[in-house]
């Protein structure tokens, strides 16, 4: 049943004069979604109620998140009142924020970047051996989308949100971008005798066409995320609904309507709404949040912001008056300015999942918004800030010339002069009497904060141990004795990297693998035109041998039907080079190389490449010879191996009948 909005909500039609706008839209499925109509308002109420319920459940976490935001900014807050030149009093304690939390966060992000962004981000394997080259083409198409739409930057934002707020959210969207493309056309005269076309002129023309088709990743601000409050943070696919709030402008609404038929009502927003911002954002925009997000600053006369509520809902169409079906379906809705529905369509995606993934490395398995890694150490960060600030306060007191003055003997105005090198005059009655020490005397200032820096260092060490971003992970080696053994240093490094690898593995299971599956399924279903993929590197060259298509210039043409196969996503190894003991691997390699029985069981080339990567070599495949040298064997041995089926003539292999 439709939910009613309590009281007069921003979704009330009385707030806007939609009836005075004369526009005509062909709404999907014969729905009446004209703003102000009964069906429009009923559907709007159900969407807005869910958004409001989710936002209120998440709003309690925003204050804690803002404290994390402040700790990640190593500066003096702008509201700190500094002393003026005319006022020589000490004033309040400076609120200095030391960037220790920021340094720890950067260490974690550096590990994630090294673990996940080296090479191909998303890798796929075929289910059957006959589809090996098709799985390769699917992988390369998604790799091209990753390069064109900077997936690495989007993933970095997701990791940052995951460690800062324990909630990094990404929504993969299939997009088509249109633009003008310049082409050269040839004009000339037809030769009637030779029936040839003699080119006399060339000119450039501009035509509108599709410039890009593929995925784009959208980072969802945790402050604007609207999850189902009844589902833990990491189980988004079990939700009844999931959504978020984003900000755009009126021109983008109109541009979207022009390029994609599933969007509508943008002209109502432009003509009937003076203020298209969401009450959910405005009610939550405290001073601290406005400073965090410049988009929430007061209006600009030349800016027309539009807040959009995007929501995926698992619903039964007949209960929402969206059709006669009694089966659950996943729908997408868009609402502009809390008042106008701009999108309403069934997703109809083959994977039947919400196109949203969430990374929460410090999840507890039960909570909708558990504390983040940066929140856990937030209190220690504030104590360190206090210790350092109070120490600065005491230093200011010590160097501020605190005097006891007898104004009957000393000119008090000279004493209050804040300029250095000042001249303090005695009163006339004290001239020539030598009573200077009776007129003015400096107070003894005891440094009661001299231990604060040492205490702060201890708390900093606790922070690093809690987050896993220790000095060893940052590349800083503390010399705690006359000599540090290589084994001890390597053991400490491996322990630190193992803790960081654990967080990377959890993020891989929660977000990277589900995201890779969504990208592959949606590419298989929604790709509508051919494209070209590049074949490079040893592994890709081997994969390219199975292509039925012609390879031209190191590239092969891929039709949409070529990538429709069953697939398995390859889990990315979150370990980084140097996380394993290279000396142990080198010793194992030597043992295997010297034992013929072991050499038959292990791939020596792959083992060597693994050792090289652990030692820091990133492009070891570039040094592999592309053509193998022929192996010379005696005729008797060749005959025996041929009888056993281990060898076959080269012409048999080339014809495709051999292995």
If you write DSSP's letter for every residue of 90-108 in order, what string do you get? --SPP----THHHHHHHHH
Q: Tell me the per-residue pLDDT of 564-592, one tens digit each, with 9 for 90 and over.
A: 989 888 877 777 666 677 788 888 888 98
Q: Tell me the per-residue pLDDT of 408-436, one tens digit each, with 9 for 90 and over.
A: 788 888 877 777 767 888 887 777 777 77
Q: pTM of the entire structure?
A: 0.76
Give the integer Cα–Cα distance in Å for 470 and 477. 10
Give the pLDDT mean for 372-376: 84
Sign of CA dihedral 224, 226, 231, 235: negative
Give the pLDDT mean for 441-448: 71
Find the radius of gyration of the CA atoms of the chain: 34
Give the pLDDT mean for 477-505: 63
3-state helix, strand, coil in the chain (%, to 5): 45, 20, 40
Residue 295 pLDDT class (50, 70, 90 cuts): very low
Sign of CA dihedral 318, 322, 325, 329: negative
Give the pLDDT mean for 75-79: 53
Residue 293 pLDDT class (50, 70, 90 cuts): very low
Residue extents of the structural domains in the chain: 13-74+163-369
Give the integer Cα–Cα distance in Å for 76 and 123. 45
Among 94-98, 261-265, 339-343, 582-586, the least confident range: 94-98
Give the integer Cα–Cα distance in Å for 634 and 336. 79
Q: Tell me the per-residue pLDDT of 546-556, one tens digit each, with 9 for 90 and over.
A: 555 666 667 88
E strands present in 347-467: 357-359, 403-405, 440-442
> What is the per-residue DSSP string for 207-244?
EEEEEEEEEEEEEEPGGGEE--TTS-TT-GGG-SEEEE
Among 163-177, 250-264, 381-395, the least confident range: 381-395
Give the pLDDT mean for 342-358: 95
**In the predicted structure, residue 469 carries a pLDDT above the cut 90:** no
Q: What pLDDT does residue 225 have? A: 96
Angle between helices 513-526 and 132-148 (to 10 degrees): 100
Among 138-142, 287-291, 347-351, 471-475, the least confident range: 287-291
**In the predicted structure, residue 83 carries a pLDDT above the cut 60:** no
**In the predicted structure, residue 114 carries a pLDDT above the cut 80:** yes
Averaged pLDDT of the chain: 79
Q: What pLDDT does residue 301 have? A: 52
Token pair recorded at residue 6: 């309590």
- Three-state DSSP class for 110? helix
**In the predicted structure, residue 447 carries a pLDDT above the cut 90:** no
Q: What pLDDT does residue 643 have? A: 76
Q: What pLDDT does residue 231 have? A: 95
**In the predicted structure, residue 168 carries a pLDDT above the cut 80:** yes
Q: What pLDDT does residue 544 have? A: 46
User: Which residue's structure tokens are 């959210």?
Assistant: 169
Specify the DSSP class assigned to residue 294: G
Q: Which is nearest to 362 in space by CA: 619, 108, 584?
A: 108
Give the pLDDT mean for 636-651: 70
Q: How far is CA 172 from CA 87, 216, 358, 517, in A?
A: 57, 6, 12, 11
- Residue with more model confidence, 220 or 420: 220
**In the predicted structure, residue 3 carries a pLDDT above the cut 50:** no
**In the predicted structure, residue 478 carries a pLDDT above the cut 60:** no
């Amino acid at each position: 049943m439709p939910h009613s909005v309590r009281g007069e909500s921003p979704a009330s039609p009385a707030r806007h004069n939609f009836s005075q706008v004369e526009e005509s839209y062909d709404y999907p499925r014969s729905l009446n979604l004209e703003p102000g109509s009964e069906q429009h308002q009923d559907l709007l109420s159900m969407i807005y109620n869910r958004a409001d319920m989710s936002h209120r459940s998440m709003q309690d976490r925003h204050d804690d998140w803002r404290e994390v935001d402040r700790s990640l900014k190593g500066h003096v807050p702008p509201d700190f009142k500094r002393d003026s030149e005319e006022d020589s009093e000490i004033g309040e304690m400076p609120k200095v924020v030391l960037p220790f939390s920021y340094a720890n966060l950067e260490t974690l992000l550096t590990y994630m970047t090294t673990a996940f962004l080296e090479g191909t981000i998303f890798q796929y394997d075929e289910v059957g051996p006959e589809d090996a080259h098709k799985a390769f083409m699917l992988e390369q198409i998604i790799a091209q989308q990753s390069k064109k739409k900077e997936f690495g930057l989007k993933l970095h934002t997701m990791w940052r949100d995951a460690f800062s707020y324990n909630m990094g959210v990404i929504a993969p969207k299939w997009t088509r971008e249109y633009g003008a493309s310049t082409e050269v056309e040839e004009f000339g005269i037809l030769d009637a005798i030779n029936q040839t076309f003699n080119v006399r002129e060339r000119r450039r023309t501009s035509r509108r066409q599709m410039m890009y088709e593929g995925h784009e990743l959208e980072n969802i601000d945790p402050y604007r995320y609207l999850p189902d409050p009844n589902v833990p943070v990491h189980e988004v696919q079990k939700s009844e609904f999931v959504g978020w709030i984003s900000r755009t402008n009126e021109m983008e609404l109109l541009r979207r309507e022009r390029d994609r038929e599933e969007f509508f009502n943008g002209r109502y927003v432009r003509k009937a709404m003076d203020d298209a911002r969401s009450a959910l954002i405005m009610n939550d925009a405290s001073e601290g949040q406005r400073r965090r997000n410049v988009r929430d600053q007061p209006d600009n006369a030349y800016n027309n912001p539009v807040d959009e509520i995007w929501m995926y809902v698992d619903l039964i169409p007949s209960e929402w008056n969206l059709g006669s079906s009694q089966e659950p379906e996943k729908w997408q809705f868009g609402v502009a300015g809390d008042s106008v529905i701009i999108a309403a369509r069934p997703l109809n995606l083959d994977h039947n999942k919400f196109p949203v993934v969430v990374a929460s490395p410090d999840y507890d398995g039960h909570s909708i918004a558990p504390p983040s890694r940066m929140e856990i150490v937030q209190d220690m960060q504030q104590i360190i800030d206090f210790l350092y600030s109070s120490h600065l306060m005491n230093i200011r007191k010590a160097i501020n010339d605190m005097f006891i003055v007898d104004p009957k003997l000393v000119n008090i105005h000279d004493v209050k002069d804040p300029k250095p090198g000042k001249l303090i005059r005695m009163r006339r009655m004290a001239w020539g009497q030598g009573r200077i020490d009776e007129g003015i005397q400096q107070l003894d200032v005891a440094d009661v904060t001299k231990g604060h820096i040492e205490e702060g260092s201890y708390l900093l060490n606790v922070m690093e141990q809690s987050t896993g971003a220790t000095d060893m992970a940052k590349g800083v080696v503390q010399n705690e004795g006359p000599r540090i053994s290589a084994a001890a240093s390597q053991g400490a490094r491996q322990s630190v990297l193992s803790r960081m690898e654990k967080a990377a593995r959890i993020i891989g299971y929660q977000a990277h693998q589900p995201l890779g599956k969504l990208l592959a399924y949606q590419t298989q279903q929604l790709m509508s035109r051919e494209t070209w993929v590049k074949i490079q590197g040893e592994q890709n060259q081997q994969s390219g041998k199975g292509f039925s298509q012609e390879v031209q210039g190191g590239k092969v043409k891929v039709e949409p039907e070529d990538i429709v196969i069953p697939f398995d996503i390859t889990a990315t190894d979150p370990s980084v080079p140097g996380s394993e003991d290279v000396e142990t691997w080198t010793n194992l390699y030597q043992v295997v190389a010297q034992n013929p029985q072991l050499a038959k069981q292990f791939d020596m080339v792959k083992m060597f490449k693994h050792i090289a990567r652990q030692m820091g070599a990133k492009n070891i495949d570039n040094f592999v010879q592309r053509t193998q040298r022929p192996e010379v064997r005696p005729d008797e041995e060749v005959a025996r191996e041929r009888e056993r089926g281990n060898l076959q003539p080269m012409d048999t292999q080339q014809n495709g009948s051999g292995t």
